[in-house]
Amino acid sequence: MKTIHLEPLHETIVEFVSENGLNVRILPKKGFVKTSVSLQIGFGSIDVFVRNSNGDFKLPDGIAHFLEHMIFENTDKDISKSFTEIGASVNAYTTYNRTVYYFSTASPLEKGLNLLLETVFHPEFDSEQIEKERKIISSEIQMYEDDLEQSLYYDTMKLMYKHHPISSDIAGTKESIAQINETVLKTAFDVFYHPENALLVISGDVDTDFVKDLVNAKMSGINFGVHHQTSLLIEDEHQSIVSPRLSVKKDMMNSFVMIGIRLDLPFYTPSQGAIEEMKLLLLMDNFFSKSSEFYKTLQKQKAINNNFDFSVTVEPSFAHILFFAETKTPEKTASAIKSMILKIKTLKLDVERFVIQKRKIIGQFVQIFNSTSSASALVSEYALKNTRIDELIASIESFDIEEMTPLVELIQEDKIVEVIYHS
């Protein structure tokens, strides 16, 4: 067992690997009533290119999400009800890079933990259940069609990436999920649902030794094969953007604008990516935050309202920056954001702001550790990036403003896309 101390937050994270190779993190939170437990599988919607003993092949889009639905559908018992009976509430979600099963409880942890590990690692793929889930997921996909922000995001991804699966909807399409059957589910399960590709995080007022014994006892009772199968990175990605612009008329009161900057980063290791992502976020925040001159000017010109945001994503196989704005003047707003993006190469960073930004990020970390569920989500997310939170905080504190400047060179004019949903 390894104990990591987070200062000045006064938090500790205990790490160990259980019997059968499951990675475990415990966050003791004294005085909290709720214990949050999450089991994260390194299987997201982009992990569709895989390699096993049969060679390399592609899984249908939406497979990770479909599998997540199937895990909770058991012919013998209602999983959700089983958790309710022991005073816990359970749920799951799939993102582009992970599937997460989680529950929280104010009752003792043992039964829930056992049930979670049993359920996730012992699925059943009954053909009748598969048909039923297909219908439910189709309906879910249809519901997302009404979600304008989500479809704006995917339209932007489709302009930036020609082949990369990040441009496909997490749930897949009606056509892609039609290809999913028992064999496909079983193959995907065998490739990804192995303890070495999973992480268990427990956050709450728990005794670490007790939890360790519990996990070991449960895990040693489950049989796993040798894990020698992997998800493949998508190295043959089309190098340029697909198209710089898309404009669609929608039934809306205000228009939406999304600007995407595709970044050509070298194939980073996940932990390098986490640091680069943080630096890029600081850089963007320096010029585009709600305290910036840019924001003030655009609001004054009535070109944006309070619904303005940006995000940075750096992953081993792709990286981009996104801007979102709601506006009455989409053309003007889009061109203002784009010209500011190009202009930052010639601007100096605001030094005073840079100092404030670091305090802001440290403050945000403290806030996250105020809740067992947000703390465990943070730890899971960075575990996937192979990054320790204490090292990340130390890096942020030691960032020098000079390190930020070269990052602007990553922005290339011919890698910028814009999507407008006109009202």
Partner 1 sequence: MTIKTISLPGLTITCVSMEKFKTIGISLRIIGPFEQRSLNDRALLGSVLLGASKKYPNKQKLNRRLDYLYSTELQTSTQKVGLQSVVSFDMLLVNPKYVHHSEHLISDGLELLSDVLFRPNLRKGLFLKHLVKEEIRLLKEELEVTYHDKSEYAFHLFKNKMFSEEMFRFNPKGELESLQEVTSETLMNCYKEMMNSNQKEMYIIGDIDADEIIDIISNTFRFEEGLPQSRWLDDEIVKESEPQTYKEHGELSQSRITMGYRTNILSNHEDTEAMILFNILFGESDQAILFQTIRESHHLGYYVSSSYFGNKGVLFVFAGVAKGDEDQTILLIQDSLKQIQLHQLSEESLDLAKETLINRIKRSSDSLSSVIARHVMNMKLFNTPYNEEDKIEKILKVTLEDIFRVSHSLRLDTVHIYQNQGENHENNPS
Contacts with partner 1 by CB under 8 A lie at 8-10, 29-34, 78, 80-81, 84-85, 87-89, 104-107, 132, 135-136, 139-140, 142-143, 145-146, 148, 251-254, 289-293, 295-296, 299-300, 302, 305-307, 326, 328, 353, 356-357, 359-364, 366-367, 369-372
User: Smallest distance, Å, CB 390 to partner 1?
Assistant: 14
- Cα-based distances in Å from 285 to 42, 63, 121, 360: 30, 35, 41, 11
CA gyration radius, the chain: 23
3-state secondary structure of 98: coil
Amino acid at 146: D
Query: Given the complex with partner 1, which of 216 and 299 has the nearer CB atom?
Result: 299
Find the shortest distance in angstroms from Cβ 359 to partner 1: 5
User: CA-CA-CA-CA torsion for 177, 179, 185, 188, nearest 10 degrees?
Assistant: -90
Reading across the β-sheet that carries 99-105, which strands appear in turn?
A: 2-6, 11-17, 23-28, 198-204, 35-41, 99-105, 88-94
How far is Cα 285 from Cα 72, in angstroms, rounded to an integer?
40
Whose CA is closest to 376, among 110, 30, 100, 20? 100
Q: How far apart are CA 32 and CA 131, in angstroms?
A: 42
Q: How far is CA 65 from the centre of its chain?
A: 13
CB nearer partner 1, residue 10 or residue 348: 10
Q: Rounded to whole angstroms, how far apart are CA atoms 168 and 62?
A: 8
Q: Are 15 and 77 in contact (CB under 8 A)?
A: no
Handedness of CA 257, 343, 269, 237 (dihedral sign): positive
Q: Which is nearer to partner 1, 127 or 306 (CB)?
A: 306
CB nearer to partner 1: give 140 or 309: 140
Task: Output 29 or 98, the one with its CB closest to partner 1.
Answer: 29
Closest CB 293 distance from partner 1, rounded Å: 8
Closer CB to partner 1, 79 or 265, in the complex? 79
- Least Å distance, CB 31 to partner 1, is 3
Please report how close the Cβ of residue 410 comes to partner 1 at its closest, in angstroms.
25
Using the minimum distance from each CB to partner 1, give the nearer residue, 186 or 249. 249
Nearer to partner 1, 231 or 357 (CB): 357
Of 78 and 237, the one with the shorter C-beta distance to partner 1 is: 78
Write down the least CB distance from residue 218 to partner 1, Å. Answer: 23
| Residue among 57, 37, 59, 34 nearest 48 (CA) | 59
Residue type, 401: I
What distance in Å separates the CA atoms of residue 252 and residue 227, rounded to the nearest whole number?
A: 49
Which two three-digit tokens encode residue 307?
């619904």
Nearer to partner 1, 5 or 345 (CB): 5
Per-residue burial over 82-100, b = 16 or more CB atoms within 10 Å of its CB, e = otherwise: bbeebebebebebbbbbbb
The least distance separating partner 1 from the CB of residue 168, rounded to whole angstroms, comes to: 19
CB of 132 to partner 1, least distance (A): 7
- Closest approach of partner 1 to the CB of residue 333, in Å: 12
Smallest gap from Cβ 143 to partner 1, in A, equals: 5
Residue 18: strand, helix, or coil:
coil
